[in-house]
Structure 1
Amino acid sequence: MDLFPAIPLSEWRDSKETLHRFAQIVGKIRLASSIRRNHWWNVPFHVTGRGITTRPMGGFDGDPVFTIDFDFVDHWLTVSCLDGSTTSFPLLGQSVASFYRETLAALDRIGVAVTLAHPHPYTLSDAHRPFAEDTEHTSYDPFWVNRHWQVLSQVNLVLEEFAAGFCGKVSPVHLFWHSYDIAVTRFSDRSVEMGAEVDPVTREAYSREVISCGFWFGDDDYPRPAFYAYAAPEPAGLAGQPLRPSPAHWIERGSGRLATLDYDDVRDGAHPRQAVLDFYGSLYRSAAALDGWDVEHLASPGGVTDPLARGNAPTAGSA
């Protein structure tokens, strides 16, 4: 299989819009049924060998321990219980409204009673409309949904490799269902003060200095897939620092700026994986230097912190 196969947004935009809302429904169940972690680390999905998963949750307020998995190979949603029971339904042929009903019915069958505080899309164009009333989004092309999972799986491993080079506080590789992007975040130990006017989601996510790197499939504002990186708070002068490789560039995004590297520019290059690592590394080194991070102390080349073992650090595939 090609590294970074083609995934033009124009080919699967309608399917992506439907899938994004499916993911938000399951994501809100995860939010309601998991133990809160710092920076909302309890909420995102993780990539699996067949799709994406919530990971186990529940186990309190009378609910069993359960997991919800998207299978993007056979295109089913499966709810699994700790006692071994499972229940599934097909992803094909569903509107957002029918997916919402089927998901709640599946939870009921295994004894899970969950109430979503706000069963509407989050920050999407139809945020005013309840999931239960969305019969508009019905597209689901299994080829492109499977292809997007292949891309997620490959990007996930590149992000894991990038994460391995940092021994400070670093997040798992997360798939964020609210914006449908995959990312890993490095943290400093310096707190960031934000006022009460800032929403609580943002205050928790960015309560420490961060440098975050990820990938998204594109949207109306940036209609093509791209790798991205940013620092929050953004240190003065960061946008003037050089990025690698040369096609990387800065864009305005929301209230800040993102370093971006278009996916197709990477695909067409001679060394795609290394190009992405160089991109992430160039942003990290510039932002960390401007913020005064101890880059040398925080480094773990090859995922190794033992100074005696660094000369013999294993490479991918050798251990």
Structure 2
Amino acid sequence: MANWPRLDAGDAPTLAILHLASQMLGKMRVAHAPWVNHGWHATLHPVAEGLAIEPIASDAGNFTLTLDLCRHAIVLHVGDGERDLLPLDIGSIAALHRNLVVMLESHGLPSTFHNRPNEIPGAPPFAEDVAPRDYDPDAAERLHAALCRIEPVFERFRAGFLGKCSPVHLFWGSFDLAVTRFSGRLAPEHPGGIPGLPDRITREAYSHEVSSAGFWPGGASAPPGTEPLFYSYAYPEPPGFRDSGNDISGGIFDATLGEYVLSYEHVRRSPDPDRALLMFLQSTYNRAANLAHWDRAALERDPVAP
């Protein structure tokens, strides 16, 4: 438990800043990189110091942006070796947006991206979000420490699948670290209707049958008092998926979310947090794959140890 840091409702203001900052970085990839199926090109990926977008090509050179949870800054790396940084504790989202644009333009780099947050009901455009924001470095560092423990477990889980599988990556719309397995079969058209997300993007994301799991720490869209949690769901949801039973390790089905959930605190306090999380991931996937009759013999393997 000592190696899994506490995360609590008091971290919410800092998580909201990080959520909105991650959206600015992701939207840069949307604006300046070719579209990849399921939007995988625009996600953030865990790196040693935090979360980063894939490089963007430009006339002034390739560059990338990192949400650095050690330096508490958005860090710019340019292909010629230049580096710059923008502190996250800058007072407001509008100031963060304005200074990000200035930093990029000072290096001759593209700086345009869509100005309105996604999947956050009622959120103003970045440039108009002038409300004072409090940033707590300790909260960011504890999130970083949690991601450093969670990501290897997700990677181990991903390594047991031979079929199409997403990388372990962070979707900035909802601010969740996720890994998704695909059966290889087409899925019925998704109904859409996710607030702040165009239906065409949702329908592409769920064009094929999936079992998806992830970690959600909270963020700008989290109701007050929300606790961090792990989740797992299937699309389309096979009959019987949400039925009670003793084959799900630790989690319960949340009918409102339509997902199995497991609190981060439950995992943190477990005698073996890595094992508790891996069992949740595996047991919820087992139920989805068995009920939907996935060809598991062809899709799975034993993970190869490093």
Provide the TM-score with structure 1 as the length reference.
Answer: 0.87
Kept in 1, the 8 Å contact 2:168–2:178? The answer is yes
Q: How many residues are aligned here?
A: 298
Say yes or no: does 1:6 pair with 2:1.
no
Match of 2:241 in 1: 238
Match of 2:196 in 1: none
After superposition, the C-alpha distances for 1:34-81 in whole angstroms (9 at most, x for unaligned) are 22111111011011111111121123xx45311001221121222121
Kept in 1, the 8 Å contact 2:35–2:41? The answer is yes
Q: How many angstroms apart in 1 are the aligned matches of 2:246 and 2:232? A: 10
- State, as a whole percentage, how many aligned pairs show the same letter: 36
After superposition, the C-alpha distances for 1:162-195 in whole angstroms (9 at most, x for unaligned) are 0011111111001111111101000111112327
Say yes or no: does 1:83 pair with 2:70.
no
Counterpart amino acid of residue 121 in structure 1: P
Match of 2:216 in 1: 216
Counterpart amino acid of residue 6 in structure 1: R
Say yes or no: does 1:276 pair with 2:273.
no
Match of 1:306 in 2: none
Change beyond 3 A, Cα 1:101–1:273 = same
Q: How many angstroms apart in 1 are the aligned matches of 2:132 and 2:40? A: 29
Counterpart amino acid of residue 202 in structure 2: T
Task: Tell me the CA shift for residue 248 of structure 1.
Answer: 1.2
Q: How many angstroms apart in 2 are the aligned matches of 1:222 and 1:188? A: 36
Task: Tell me the CA shift for residue 243 of structure 1.
Answer: 5.7
Matches within 5 A, 1:1-319: 2-8=2-8, 10-59=9-58, 62=59, 64-116=61-113, 118-127=114-123, 129-194=124-189, 199-218=199-218, 219-220=222-223, 223-240=226-243, 242=245, 247-254=250-257, 257-303=258-304, 315=305, 319=306
Counterpart amino acid of residue 108 in structure 2: G
Kept in 1, the 8 Å contact 2:38–2:204? The answer is yes
Q: How many angstroms apart in 2 are the aligned matches of 1:38 and 1:285? A: 26
Change beyond 3 A, Cα 1:176–1:222 = farther
Task: Tell me the CA shift for residue 138 of structure 1.
Answer: 1.4
Q: How many angstroms apart in 2 are the aligned matches of 1:135 and 1:283? A: 42
Q: How many angstroms apart in 1 are the aligned matches of 2:256 and 2:204? A: 20
Q: Which one scores higher on RCO, CA 8 angstroms, separation ≥ 6?
A: 2
Q: How many angstroms apart in 1 are the aligned matches of 2:191 and 2:241? A: 27
Change beyond 3 A, Cα 1:248–1:209 = same
Counterpart amino acid of residue 67 in structure 2: F
Change beyond 3 A, Cα 1:239–1:191 = same
Change beyond 3 A, Cα 1:101–1:263 = same
Match of 1:307 in 2: none
Counterpart amino acid of residue 250 in structure 1: F
| Unaligned ranges ≥5, structure 2 | 194-198
Q: How many angstroms apart in 1 are the aligned matches of 2:283 and 2:276? A: 10
After superposition, the C-alpha distances for 1:114-167 in whole angstroms (9 at most, x for unaligned) are 432x3111121333x211111115111000011111111211111001001111
Kept in 2, the 8 Å contact 1:38–1:204? The answer is yes
Q: How many angstroms apart in 2 are the aligned matches of 1:273 and 1:195? A: 33
Question: Once superposed, what is the RMSD of the aligned Cα atoms?
Answer: 2.0
Counterpart amino acid of residue 126 in structure 1: G
Task: Tell me the CA shift for residue 232 of structure 1.
Answer: 0.6
Give the secondary structure class of the aligned counterpart of 1:214. strand
| Unaligned ranges ≥5, structure 1 | 304-314
